[in-house]
Structure 1
């Protein structure tokens, strides 16, 4: 297992600055997406994927994961709405080709929400159908498609996640324990998802708070890392402290908490 850094943690930086900070911190890897300063323009990527791939290869840093959001919000063009399938498939085909050219091995997308008239069961059924169509588009490019279960999605329990994975053979997770911890799930309940992880986000959390300072949360990182190792995980551990309106993650010194967590993880890995 090795570290990475999410570009959206460094929201005021350019993409080149974010890559330089990752190198300066000894991490040497950067997850990228469409958000804040260190980001790619989605319209430009979809129109000119080869040019976008050349741009990110020029950063001279490992790029383990790409965060693709189909719409502009959590609900816009979400996977549980069947009306979005044709447009989403067209976009993911391009994005997967971009990732292949850029040397990015995994893509993560969001699973969807409960749309008007839907409950969790219907949302899961529709999302599974969408994902069964999307998965081969990534596989054809040698890229692993993953989903990230998150607060406000229909996937708000470990069992629902397992149900969706069972319905879409080959699908993997970008796994962030914090999304479950903040909803009150015990860490040992979340551990059941570790064997399905293809990418991992790390930040501290506690019930009621998606993000807290490293020394104020309830996630036992040493236990989590051991669970991932014992499940055979050998991918990236991406540090994801953020400054965002989403779930009130506005109150932490992102760089300080990133460094403290980096040191904690490195001490365990060594």
Structure 2
């Protein structure tokens, strides 16, 4: 079990780490968001030194954005393909030095030729990740290119060996039932967990529709042995501003513990 650094947007990375350790989490997903953000420029200039700055933090996943937002330098932008691939070489050096097993990226957004361009870009990134011994994952998300389980499976067919940063909440928000999402479980390389319901990317524990007991069983049956990241957030994105992140995190942690998931 792990937690995302961007769950605590006003904290520094050191503060977020302190909160996570106080809650009993033994690892953290890290990335380029909010107060707990990594130093992008140092990673790209001195990846091994930047990994050393983590001071022994157990890193469960790295969330890497190629630009400032979902659209800029997107994997689905053919003009950014060579630039992203070159950058990813350095990012993988950082991940390897930090002991990070997986990296997740976003697929980009829809547009003419975007699916084919994203597949080509992801194939390039996958080749880089393999050379460095890191697992590449992509996250289907609300507003993104992979807007259904069927689209996601089609991308996986186009990029053999690609894994998913799987968050059921995004699909539930878009109206898919849990049973329709389960088909993606065998392709999970990293997993995000939070409660959700149709139309709401994030919901309080008692107000969502996801059955986490069933979900963990599905993942186990599919052979998933990776990290389970609790990802409650406080962001303007998808109106996720109205939940007590600490309380919901503890509720999820306790439920996972009851299912035998080690923190």
- Taking structure 1 as the reference length, what is the TM-score of the superposition? 0.95
Which of 121, 145, 152 is equivalent to 1:154? 145
Q: Paired residue for 2:11?
A: 13
Q: What's 2:48 paired with?
A: 50
Q: 1:52-86 deviations in whole A, cap 9, x for unaligned?
A: 11011x0x332110000001111111111100101
Match of 2:79 in 1: 83
Q: Which residue of 2 aligns with 1:38?
A: 36
Equivalent residue pairs, number: 261
Specify the alignment match of 1:113 in structure 2: 109
Query: Secondary structure in 1 aligned to 2:81?
Result: helix
Task: Determine if the alignment matches structure 1 residue 64 to structure 2 residue 60.
Answer: yes
Q: What's the CA shift string for 1:23-60, capped at 9, x where partnerless?
A: 1111111000011111212122111212111011x0x3
What RMSD in Å do the two structures reach over aligned CA positions? Answer: 0.9
What are the equivalent positions in structure 2 for 1:123-138 lying under 5 Å apart? 123-138=114-129
Q: Distance in 2 between matches of 1:243 and 1:188?
A: 28
Task: Find the counterpart in structure 2 of residue 98 from structure 1.
Answer: 94
After TM superposition, list the pairs within 5 Å mapping 1:171-182 onto structure 2: 171-182=162-173
Cα deviation code 1:149-184 (max 9, x no counterpart):
001111110011000001111100000000000010
2:183 corresponding residue in structure 1: 192
Equivalent residue of 1:32, what SS?
A: strand
2: CA distance between counterparts of 1:143 and 1:164?
Answer: 20
Which residue does 1:234 correspond to in 2? Answer: 225
Q: Are 1:140 and 2:131 counterparts?
A: yes
SS in 2 for 1:201: strand
Deviating beyond 4 angstroms after TM superposition, the runs of 4 or more aligned structure 1 residues are: none
Deviates more, 1:43-52 or 1:90-99: 43-52
- 8 Å CA contact 1:19, 1:28 repeated in 2: no
Other structure's SS at 1:11 match: coil
* 2:259 counterpart SS class: helix
2-side partners of 1:21 and 1:107: how far apart? Answer: 23
Distance 1:97 1:158 in 2: 31
Q: Alpha-carbon deviation of 1:256?
A: 0.7
Further displaced range: 82-91 or 18-27: 18-27
Bigger mean CA offset, 141-150 vs 18-27: 18-27
Residue matched to 1:203: 194
- Aligned equivalents of 1:15 and 1:81: distance in 2? 31
Q: CA deviation at 1:257?
A: 0.5
